[in-house]
């Protein structure tokens, strides 16, 4: 039986149109998928219907999202794919994070006085790292999938060539980045309607991107990092002031990394490894919280303790974390329960600890969010949690002429200067300083959970708030709730800098706001409800899936339990 969760009319029609084309091949395969766009979710069904597995579905989802969600991901971006292979229990993380160009250097975004030049690490091709998504899609298909890459990319090629109707989220984020899109003639020609934000119901067609995807399908990684696509990328980037070279493209490699593992009250956590801060941060926070019975205390104290744990996690993020191929990070110590006990000893239940007490004078800056996430699991037990990004909405705002590829602005995720904050308000230092070929630190947190009864796959976009959102989802899993609840939990956040509890509208009740303020917390409401969690769960004894797509977004969860 097929079940649709959070299903707009357009999505229902799209799913049933797709299923009608593959009837007879899907009912024997159990599958669950949740992604940020309905077209990506039913592309996964299409791959399962053709005899593929969760890894083939993940290739199709990632490629389709690159087409239909250009504000959040794309071939010009990067990401992390957390994998579990059922046949032998093997788990790994595909690191498809972008790398700094070889011509990059630590002071490239500073003026003569050593001050960060506003916008330089955010807008235009100078802000772009070398993309990892194309190489990761190829790697995933060749090493883990059952179908050829050319088959898994067909849905994305189709939607790029034939087009699709844009949603309200596209229009909202495009409005936010309109000046940057307008400054790139190739981007404006693709994403705007005669130079303006398109009206609802407009069809976005991307013929150049369809050709780029087809070259990737035909030639694998060489179809992007060499040949016609590479020539067009380099020509446009250099003409607009970027510093990419063919050697940068030749050097790019996907890295398989051992995931970060931890436990919390009988739950086994598998999280993303560096250069993601997510796995370390989640295990640290849960290690701190494990000695508190969060179900037996009042709501104010619970949120106070979670906030104080997050404050310490993000403080350590700034002090220690970066690309493990460039620096020695004390991962074992950071995720050790004894280390967490030391952090816990500095927490008081009756008072907050200002961030200045952790690390001297600190700057303040607000942040934003954007990225994408999907979760998929097949009937064999293979599963994928993947978080992909171009960083800021529509990345750098720059499209390389003739490619349809919008470039990321992930160079902003480096620390342009020790003590400076990035566009998300995150502070850092030398561990995450710019260096040629280095991968910038990330908060993306694809995650697996497992206890004796259930397996969960979850993650979300959200910039610097990703770790806190996934943490709240894990705690809700621990409380016995299911995916519908995890994706809907009211959200609050602390990231050490700025020293404030950020919360979405409705994220904290009036009583909780008053109680936290009495404990000394500064409070800051965001202007919108944030995040777009995609989550699924396998019930071991019942042998069935449940799944949910965040009500804040436009995604779709699809379940087939027979």
The whole-number pLDDT of residue 359 equals 58
- The mean per-residue pLDDT over the stretch 455-471 comes to 96
- Taking each helix axis from N to C end, the angle separating 337-344 and 278-289, rounded to the nearest 10 degrees, works out to 60
Averaged pLDDT of the chain: 91
Question: Rounded to whole angstroms, how far apart are CA atoms 414 and 278?
Answer: 16
Examine the pLDDT at 58 and tell me if it is beyond 50.
yes
- The mean per-residue pLDDT over the stretch 262-271 comes to 98
- The mean per-residue pLDDT over the stretch 412-426 comes to 64
Strand partners, 125: none
Q: How many residues does the chain have?
A: 562
Q: Kindly report, residue by residue over 195-243, the tens digit of the pLDDT.
A: 999 999 999 999 999 999 999 999 999 999 999 999 999 999 999 999 9
In this structure, how many other beta carbons lie within 10 angstroms of the beta carbon of residue 562? Answer: 11
* pLDDT bracket for residue 364 (50, 70, 90): very low
Q: Where are the domains of the chain?
A: 39-106+122-273+369-493+531-561
Question: Rounded to whole angstroms, how far apart are CA atoms 68 and 99?
Answer: 24
Comparing CA positions, the residue from 250, 229, 213 lying closest to residue 101 is 250
The whole-number pLDDT of residue 318 equals 87
Q: Hey, which CATH number is domain 39-106+122-273+369-493+531-561, 3.40.50.720, 3.30.70.270, 3.60.20.40, 3.30.450.20?
A: 3.60.20.40
Question: Rounded to whole angstroms, how far apart are CA atoms 360 and 534?
Answer: 38
Burial, 235: exposed, middle or buried (Cβ in 10 Å; 0-12, 13-18, 19+)?
Answer: middle
Cβ 396 vs Cβ 407: under 8 Å: yes
19 or 532, higher pLDDT? 532
* pLDDT bracket for residue 415 (50, 70, 90): confident
Q: Kindly report, residue by residue over 208-220, the tens digit of the pLDDT.
A: 999 999 999 999 9
Q: How big is the chain by its Cα radius of gyration, in Å? A: 22
Active site residues: 371
Cβ-based neighbours of 139, under 8 Å, separated by 6 or more: 94, 96, 254
- The mean per-residue pLDDT over the stretch 161-179 comes to 96
From the annotation, which residues make up the binding site for L-glutamate? 97, 389-391, 413, 442-443, 463
Q: Kindly report, residue by residue over 66-99, the tens digit of the pLDDT.
A: 999 999 999 999 999 999 999 999 999 999 999 9
Across 36-165, the runs of DSSP E, i.e. the strands, are 78-84, 91-96, 164-165
Cβ-based neighbours of 313, under 8 Å, separated by 6 or more: 281, 284, 285, 288, 467
From the annotation, which residues make up the binding site? 97, 389-391, 413, 442-443, 463
% of the chain with per-residue pLDDT over 90 = 85
Q: What angle do CA 185, 186, 189 make, to 5 degrees?
A: 85
Burial, 349: exposed, middle or buried (Cβ in 10 Å; 0-12, 13-18, 19+)?
Answer: exposed
Query: Token digits for 477?
Result: 């899993």
Examine the pLDDT at 429 and tell me if it is beyond 80.
no
Lowest mean pLDDT among 269-278, 368-377, 551-560: 368-377
- Taking each helix axis from N to C end, the angle separating 207-219 and 133-144, rounded to the nearest 10 degrees, works out to 40
Examine the pLDDT at 13 and tell me if it is beyond 90.
no
Examine the pLDDT at 11 and tell me if it is beyond 90.
no
Cβ 94 vs Cβ 83: under 8 Å: yes
Span between the terminal Cα atoms of the chain, in Å: 5
Question: Rounded to whole angstroms, how far apart are CA atoms 53 and 337?
Answer: 37
Q: What angle do CA 94, 95, 96 make, to 5 degrees?
A: 105
* pLDDT bracket for residue 420 (50, 70, 90): low
Question: Rounded to whole angstroms, how far apart are CA atoms 161 and 39?
Answer: 14
Burial, 215: exposed, middle or buried (Cβ in 10 Å; 0-12, 13-18, 19+)?
Answer: buried
Examine the pLDDT at 334 and tell me if it is beyond 70.
yes
165 or 429, higher pLDDT? 165
The whole-number pLDDT of residue 5 equals 56
- The mean per-residue pLDDT over the stretch 537-551 comes to 96
* pLDDT bracket for residue 338 (50, 70, 90): very high
The whole-number pLDDT of residue 12 equals 35
* pLDDT bracket for residue 430 (50, 70, 90): confident
* pLDDT bracket for residue 27 (50, 70, 90): very low
Element (H, E) at 557: strand 556-560
């Amino acid at each position: 039986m097929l079940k649709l969760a959070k299903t707009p009319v357009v999505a229902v029609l799209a799913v049933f149109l797709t299923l009608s084309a593959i009837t007879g091949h899907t009912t024997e395969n159990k599958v669950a998928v949740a992604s940020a766009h309905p077209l990506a979710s039913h592309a996964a069904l299409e791959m399962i219907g053709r005899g593929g597995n969760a890894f083939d579905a993940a290739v199709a989802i990632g490629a389709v999202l690159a087409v239909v969600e250009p504000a959040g991901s794309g071939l010009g971006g990067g990401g992390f794919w957390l994998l579990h292979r059922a046949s032998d229990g093997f788990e790994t993380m595909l690191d498809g994070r972008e790398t700094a160009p070889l011509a990059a250097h630590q002071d490239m975004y500073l003026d003569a006085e050593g001050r960060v030049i506003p916008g330089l690490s955010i807008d235009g091709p100078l802000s772009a790292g070398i993309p990892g998504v194309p190489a990761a899609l190829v790697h995933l298909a060749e090493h883990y999938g059952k179908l050829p890459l050319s088959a898994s990319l067909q849905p994305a090629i189709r939607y790029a060539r034939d087009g699709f109707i844009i949603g309200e989220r596209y229009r909202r984020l495009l409005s936010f980045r309109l000046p940057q899109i307008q400054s790139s003639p190739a981007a404006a020609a693709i994403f705007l309607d005669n130079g303006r934000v398109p009206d609802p119901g407009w069809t976005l067609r991307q013929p150049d991107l369809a050709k780029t995807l087809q070259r990737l399908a035909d030639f694998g990684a060489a179809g992007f990092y060499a040949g016609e696509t590479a020539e067009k990328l380099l020509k446009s980037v250099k003409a607009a002031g970027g510093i990419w070279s063919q050697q940068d493209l030749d050097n790019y490699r996907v890295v398989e990394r051992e995931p970060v593992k931890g436990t919390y009250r009988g739950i086994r956590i598998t999280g993303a490894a560096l250069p993601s801060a997510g796995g370390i941060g989640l295990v640290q926070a849960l290690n701190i919280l494990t000695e508190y019975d969060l179900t037996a205390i009042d709501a104010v104290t619970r949120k106070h303790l979670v906030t104080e744990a997050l404050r310490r996690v993000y403080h350590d993020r700034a002090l220690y974390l970066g690309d493990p191929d460039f620096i020695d990070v004390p991962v074992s110590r950071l995720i050790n329960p004894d280390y967490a006990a030391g952090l816990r000893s500095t927490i008081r239940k009756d008072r907050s600890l200002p961030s200045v007490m952790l690390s001297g004078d600190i700057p303040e800056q607000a942040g934003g969010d954007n990225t994408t996430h999907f979760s998929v699991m097949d009937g064999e037990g293979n599963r994928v949690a993947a978080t992909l990004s171009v960083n800021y909405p529509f990345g750098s705002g720059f499209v390389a002429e003739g490619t349809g590829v919008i470039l990321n602005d992930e160079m902003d995720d480096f620390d342009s200067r020790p003590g400076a904050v990035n566009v998300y308000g995150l502070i850092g230092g030398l561990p995450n300083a710019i260096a040629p070929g280095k991968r910038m630190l990330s908060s993306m947190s694809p995650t697996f959970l497992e206890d004796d009864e259930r397996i969960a796959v979850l993650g979300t976009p959200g910039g610097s708030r990703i770790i806190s959102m996934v943490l709240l989802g894990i705690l809700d899993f621990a409380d016995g709730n299911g995916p519908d609840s995890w994706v809907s939990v009211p959200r609050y956040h602390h990231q050490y800098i700025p020293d404030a509890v950020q919360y979405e509208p409705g994220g904290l009740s009036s009583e909780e706001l008053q109680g936290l303020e009495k404990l000394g917390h500064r409070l800051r409401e965001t202007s919108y409800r944030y995040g777009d969690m995609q989550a699924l769960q396998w019930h071991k004894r019942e042998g069935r899936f449940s799944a949910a797509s965040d009500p804040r977004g436009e995604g779709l969860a699809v379940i087939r339990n027979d």
